[in-house]
Every structure is written in C-alpha cells, then in structure tokens.
C-alpha cells in the first residue's frame, strides 16, 4: 500500500467548526457571535419512523461526551408518554449513571480545558508538563466516572445497557463494590480539585443571570424535577415549549433559545448551584464554603470551582447510592405502547436537556424534539462576551484572545461532539 | 506498569459522519484476525479516553481520518514515538481535545508507548449519516491489510 509522511494542516474530527467572531468598533465591543454546529437537528429526523425502543441507542450517539444525558432524556420522555414512572433501585441506578457522566465530563473540562486558561498555558498539554500531578488527578477522576458508566451501561461511549423501562441487566450488588473503593479515592481527589481551583485568580465580573435548572424537593437534580428559574418560573417539562422559544439569529445558522418574556438565560453548573445549593450533600456544601463560595455565585469564571463541587457531590452521591443499593426483582418494567406525547428534561453536565416524543399507537416515533444545553446557553455566552470583554481590550491581542476563549469555556459549550476548532476572529472597525 | 505483551489499535471517528469513520472501520476489519494481546478499540476521539487506552501498552497504533488537502484515500503515517507531531496538527480547540492532544499529553506525562504509530486517512466527504466514500473504503481495506501484516510480524518475542 502507498504510505507517505507529509505535513498535514490539521487532523480532525471534521464534523464542523465552532467559530467565535467579535467585532470591536471605536474601542468598544459591538457584537459577539459564537457559531456552533448542532447535531441534534439531524437526529430528530433520524428518530422519526423508528420504534420507541430504539430511542435510547439512537440518542446515545448524538454526543460522545454526554451520551448518558441524551439517552436518559429520551428514556424519560418515552416513559412519560407511556404513563410509566420508575421508582426504587432502577431509579437509583439511573442517578448513579448520571453521577458517572458528570464526573467524567466535568473532570475533563476542569483539568484539561479550563484550568490552562487560569494558569496561563496555551493548552492542557503545556500545563501537564509542569502540573503533572493535577493532570493525573483529573484523569484519575475521569476514569472513575468512566467506570461507573461502563459498569451500568456496558460501554463508556454510547451506553448500550439502558432501555425504556429500566436496564437490560441490573448489576449485582457485589459488582458495584470495587467501584465504591475507587470512588472513595475519587472523592478525596475531587475535594483536592475544589481547593486547587479555588486558588486560581478570577476576573472580578458578575452578571445578573436568569438561571434555569431542574429542582427536586430532596435531591440535587440529575434526571427529575420541575424546571425552575431564578425569576420565579416553576413548570413541568410538558410546559417547556410554551415557556421557551428557539429563534433564528441573524448572520447565524444556529437556533438560540430564549425564555419568553425574559430573554437569554443560563443553564448548567452555575444555574444548578444557585437554585439547588441547599440540596448538595454536607461534604459538598462544606467544600464550597472552604472554597470561599456562598450559597450563590454570579461570577461565571468561578464556574470551574462550582464544577469541581459538582464532581465532589457526584462522587459522594454515587457512594451513597452504591451503599444502599438492593438488586431489583426485575431490571425493567413492562411497557405497552400507546398513542401519546411524552416530555422530559434532565441535567446534562453542561445544562438542561429537553426532549419531546410523539408516539403512534404501535410505539413508532412520529415526531422528536431535542433542545440541547449549548443552544440554550449560546445567547448568554454571547452576552457574557459583550459585557466582559470590553474591560479587557487593553490586553495584548494574544492575551485578549485567550480571555475570550476562557469566557466561552466558562459555560463548557458542547462543541466537542460537533467541532474541534474554535476560530477566533476579532474585527476592528 | 508496562505490559510487554499488550498492544492496542485505536480507531477514532464519528460513525455518523461519512469518511470520518475511517479509523473505526479499519478496526472493524481487523476483528478476529489478530493474535492475542492485541486490543481493538473504537473511540469517538476524546483524548482522555484515548490516553487511558494507551497507558501501559507496549505499542499503540492509532487510526484517524484527516483533511489536509491531499487526494482522498491518501494514508499518512507518523511515527509519533520518534518525534512530536508537527505543531500544525494540534488543534487550537476550545473543547475537543482529540487524538493529537492525547499523544502529546501522554508524552508530557511520560506514558506514551515506546512504539506508537499514527495513521491518518485523508477523507473525501463527511455528510451526516453518510457511509464511507468508495475511495476511502478502498484505503481503509488496504490499511487494514497493512496493519494486520505489521501486527503479525511485530509480535513481541
């Protein structure tokens, strides 16, 4: 075969590109535009005509970073259509699965993507040369999250053991014991990570955000609860589309979500933290205080600390679930298809994820609607740039570019499943 | 700890995006053909996962798709254990840490396998839900044959 070694301009997942364009006019920010390709649109079409039982496996392929959230939102929405509510050990296992996904996604973002911004490195690789221990700790955490997902879902990427109604196979109690040992070490590492990030220097910037997150009476939210906002919204997932709208934005192909009557809003760790601090476990609340955070935080640069607190919570919650786990009599509840529409919202690591499915009488999916967290946060990310970057224009161009990227990364937009390049264009007019 | 027998072949790509799946397709074609001790892995491309698969292996073979402007189906070969990837290969990404980052991160942390080869198959089209193009399909077949031979010949003693 012909092989040769040549220079390649870039080596990529080439699904698309994320691009950031900031226009500066007379020394002031005129506009900021973040463009992200959105794969869920394609999957909405792909789901039509398929059996409801196929929804978990199809939706798990939307994102390589957060397949669990896509899959579980689909499962919950279909179960909502079929009038089924899952309780007991199967519900607990689902929470455990979310713990795994939050740990792996957050650990990656904190350690390799966001921390380099604060420590002044161009990349996680450059940082690893001088902060090897911190990077190894982050990778160890990520691995612990992977192992939870692998234990419950069969595969780390594209989980295959999840089905509508439960699981194909529930783990034996003894199978979860080795996970607990690793999670205890992970919980210590998570606490270290909270304190490590708390020592970073944060730009002194805050905004009066409209936070939107799930809220549950007793739990920090993963996959159940009402959709609430910091401005008094309090609705079920069924009412999501009546309260939120997606708009085409001029000069962009992306849809931006708006809360009707309130405009841009923020979902994700900062929103969950502000709306649900009281439901964090004591160890997570103590860590937050030790990190200098109160029960609310409106500085998006501190989201890296909040993410670390969520990793700590997820480790703690996973240990609690494993400790009290009793094997279910049956891994899934029986379901009967019917013509109905179901709705669900769950908390993906980077924010609220909404799904709606309309089923025909035989269980065929007639229509699917998926609103990912990144399209919900996109308008707020642009507003952050317009609000904050004006204060940084005196910085050298390279430093300014890094500060812009850091500002985008505050909200961990899921570019990864769609694009690997963020091109920054700063136009001076 | 290094396992003297463990070798990994990691195919990276998005199975829903046409030629982007080239790396994974190579792995699919190698299934049931290789000696014990060779692990075949398919990944989406997230670097920490790739890093974890390489850790402790004596040899790693990574296969990815790329878009460099040369004719589709061209296979690039980089001996990444011998030298760093060219800087231009490393994405200046905001989130997507990929295969190039996994390699350099492993090097920075001292966990890069002593033998590590990256193959990159030049893609042609990347349509949503599309299959491999015929050009890339042919390149994938010939790369799989080449790798099967290489892995059989370089069995650890």
DSSP characters for A229-295?
Answer: ETTS-EE-GGGHHHHEEEEE-TT-SSEEEEETTTB--B-SHHHHHHHHGGGS-HHHHHHHHHTT--S
Q: Which helix (H) or strand (E) holds A425?
A: strand A422-428
Q: Is A8 in CB contact (< 8 Å) with chain B?
A: yes
Higher pLDDT, B49 or A349: A349
Q: Is A298 in CB contact (< 8 Å) with chain B?
A: no
Query: Measured between beta carbons, which residues in chain A are less than 8 angstroms from residue B97?
Result: 108, 112-113, 124, 416
Which of A14, A156, A412 is the closest to B20 by Cβ? A14
Task: Kindly state the DSSP code that residue A112 receives in the 8-state scheme.
Answer: I
Measured between CA atoms, how close is B37 to chain A, in angstroms? 20
Quick check: B156 and B37 in contact, CB under 8 A? yes
CA-based nearest residue in chain A for residue B101:
A125
Q: Which of residues 324-353 of A touch B (CB under 8 A)?
A: none
* Tens-digit pLDDT profile for residues A233-245: 999 999 999 999 9
Quick check: A18 and A34 in contact, CB under 8 A? yes
Segment B17-37 mean pLDDT: 91
CA angle A171, A173, A175 (to 5 degrees): 65
Cα-trace Rg, chain A:
21
* Tens-digit pLDDT profile for residues A42-95: 788 889 999 999 999 888 877 767 888 999 999 999 999 999 999 999 999 999
Task: Kindly state the DSSP code that residue A228 receives in the 8-state scheme.
Answer: E
CA A184, CA A207: separation in Å to the nearest integer? 36
Segment A388-405 mean pLDDT: 83
Query: Percentage of residues in chain A with pLDDT exceeding 70?
Result: 88
Judge whether residue A6 has pLDDT over 50.
no
- Supply the ipTM of this predicted assembly: 0.77
Query: Measured between beta carbons, which residues in chain A are less than 8 angstroms from residue B77?
Result: 3-5
Q: Is A49 in CB contact (< 8 Å) with chain B?
A: no
Query: Measured between beta carbons, which residues in chain B are less than 8 angstroms from residue A14?
Result: 17, 20, 65, 67, 123, 126
Most confident of A59-73, A104-118, B1-15: A104-118
Answer yes or no: do A13 and B14 touch at CB < 8 A.
yes
The pLDDT score that the predictor gives to residue B127 is 79
The pLDDT score that the predictor gives to residue A251 is 57
CA A127, CA B6: separation in Å to the nearest integer? 29
Judge whether residue B3 has pLDDT over 70.
yes
Answer yes or no: do B48 and A14 touch at CB < 8 A.
no
The pLDDT score that the predictor gives to residue A37 is 58
Query: Measured between beta carbons, which residues in chain A are less than 8 angstroms from residue B105?
Result: 112, 124-125, 128, 135
* Tens-digit pLDDT profile for residues A66-78: 888 999 999 999 9
Segment A156-165 mean pLDDT: 76
The pLDDT score that the predictor gives to residue B44 is 80
How many other CB atoms are found less than 10 A from the CB of residue B140? 27
Measured between CA atoms, how close is A42 to chain B, in angstroms? 7
The pLDDT score that the predictor gives to residue B148 is 95
Nearest residue to A13 via CA among B90, B23, B65, B88: B65
Q: What is the DSSP string of chain B?
A: --EEEEEEEEEE--TTBGGGGHHHHHHHHHTT-S-TTEEEEEE---HHHHHHHHTTEEEEEEEEEE--SSPTT-EEEEETTTSPPPGGGS---SS---HHHHHHHHHHHT---SEEEEEEEEPS---BT----HHHHHHHHHHHHHHHHHHHHT---
CA-based nearest residue in chain B for residue A417:
B96
Q: Is A109 in CB contact (< 8 Å) with chain B?
A: yes
The pLDDT score that the predictor gives to residue A63 is 72
- Predicted TM-score (pTM) of the model is 0.88
Answer yes or no: do A124 and B13 touch at CB < 8 A.
no
Judge whether residue A123 has pLDDT over 90.
no
CA-based nearest residue in chain A for residue B140:
A1
Q: Which of residues 124-153 of B touch A (CB under 8 A)?
A: 126, 128-129, 142-143, 145-146
Answer yes or no: do B97 and A146 touch at CB < 8 A.
no
The pLDDT score that the predictor gives to residue A375 is 83
Quick check: B80 and B63 in contact, CB under 8 A? no
Segment A332-340 mean pLDDT: 96
Residues with Cβ within 8 Å of residue A272, at least 6 apart in sequence:
A213, A214, A220, A221, A310, A347
The pLDDT score that the predictor gives to residue B88 is 54
* Tens-digit pLDDT profile for residues A242-289: 999 988 776 555 678 899 988 999 999 999 999 999 999 999 999 999
Answer yes or no: do B75 and A2 touch at CB < 8 A.
yes
Judge whether residue A130 has pLDDT over 90.
yes
CA-based nearest residue in chain B for residue A38:
B128
* Tens-digit pLDDT profile for residues B111-124: 999 999 999 898 88
Segment A312-341 mean pLDDT: 96
């Amino acid at each position: 075969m012909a092989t040769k070694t040549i220079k390649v301009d870039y080596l990529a997942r080439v699904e698309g590109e994320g691009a950031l364009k900031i226009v500066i006019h007379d020394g002031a920010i005129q506009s900021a535009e973040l463009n992200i390709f959105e794969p869920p649109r394609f999957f909405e079409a792909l789901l039509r005509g398929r059996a409801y039982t196929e929804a978990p496996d199809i939706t798990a392929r939307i994102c390589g970073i957060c397949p669990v959230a896509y899959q579980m939102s689909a499962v919950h929405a279909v179960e909502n259509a079929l009038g089924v509510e899952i309780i007991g050990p199967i519900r607990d296992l689902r929470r455990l699965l979310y713990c795994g996904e939050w740990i792996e996604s957050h650990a990656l973002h904190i350690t390799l993507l966001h921390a380099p911004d604060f420590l002044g490195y161009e990349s996680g690789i450059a940082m690893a040369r001088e902060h090897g221990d911190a990077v190894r700790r982050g990778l160890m955490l990520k691995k612990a999250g992977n192992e939870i997902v692998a234990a419950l879902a069969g595969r780390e990427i594209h989980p295959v053991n999840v089905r509508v109604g439960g699981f194909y196979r529930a783990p034996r109690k003894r199978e979860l014991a080795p996970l607990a040992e690793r999670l205890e070490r992970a919980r210590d590492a998570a606490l270290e990570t909270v304190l490590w990030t708390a020592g970073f220097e944060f730009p002194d910037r805050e905004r009066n955000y409209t936070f939107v997150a799930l809220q549950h009476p007793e739990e920090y939210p993963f996959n159940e609860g009402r959709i609430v906002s910091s401005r008094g919204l309090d609705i079920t997932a069924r009412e999501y589309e009546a309260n939120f709208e997606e708009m085409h934005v001029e000069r962009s192909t992306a849809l931006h979500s708006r809360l009707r009557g309130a405009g841009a809003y923020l979902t994700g760790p900062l929103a969950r933290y502000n709306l649900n601090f009281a439901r964090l476990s004591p160890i997570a609340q103590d860590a937050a205080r030790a990190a200098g955070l109160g029960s609310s935080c409106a500085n998006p640069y501190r989201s890296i600390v909040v993410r670390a607190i969520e990793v700590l919570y997820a480790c703690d919650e996973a240990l609690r679930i494993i400790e009290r786990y009793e094997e279910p009599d049956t891994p899934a509840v029986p379901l009967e298809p019917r013509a109905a529409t179901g709705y669900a919202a769950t908390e993906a690591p980077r924010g609220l994820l909404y799904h709606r499915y309309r089923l025909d009488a035989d269980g065929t999916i007639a229509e699917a609607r998926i609103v990912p967290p990144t399209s919900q946060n996109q308008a707020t990310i642009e507003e952050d740039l317009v609000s904050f970057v004006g204060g940084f224009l005196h910085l050298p161009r390279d430093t300014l570019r890094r500060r812009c990227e850091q500002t985008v990364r505050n909200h961990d937009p899921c570019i990864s499943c769609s694009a690997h390049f963020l091109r920054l264009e700063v136009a001076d007019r | 700890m290094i396992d003297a027998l463990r070798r990994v072949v990691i195919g990276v790509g998005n199975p829903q995006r046409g030629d982007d799946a080239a790396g994974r397709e190579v792995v699919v074609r190698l299934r049931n053909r290789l000696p014990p001790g060779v692990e075949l892995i398919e990944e989406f491309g997230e670097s920490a996962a790739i890093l974890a698969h390489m850790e402790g292996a004596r040899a790693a073979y990574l296969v990815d798709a790329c878009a460099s402007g040369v004719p589709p189906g061209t296979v690039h070969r980089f001996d990444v254990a011998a030298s760093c990837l060219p800087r231009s290969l490393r994405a200046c990404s905001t989130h997507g840490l990929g295969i190039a980052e996994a390699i350099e991160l492993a090097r920075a942390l001292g966990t890069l396998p002593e033998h590590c080869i990256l193959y990159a198959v030049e893609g042609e089209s990347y349509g949503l839900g599309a299959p491999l193009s015929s050009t890339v399909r042919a390149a994938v077949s010939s790369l799989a044959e080449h790798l099967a031979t290489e892995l059989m010949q370089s069995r650890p003693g």
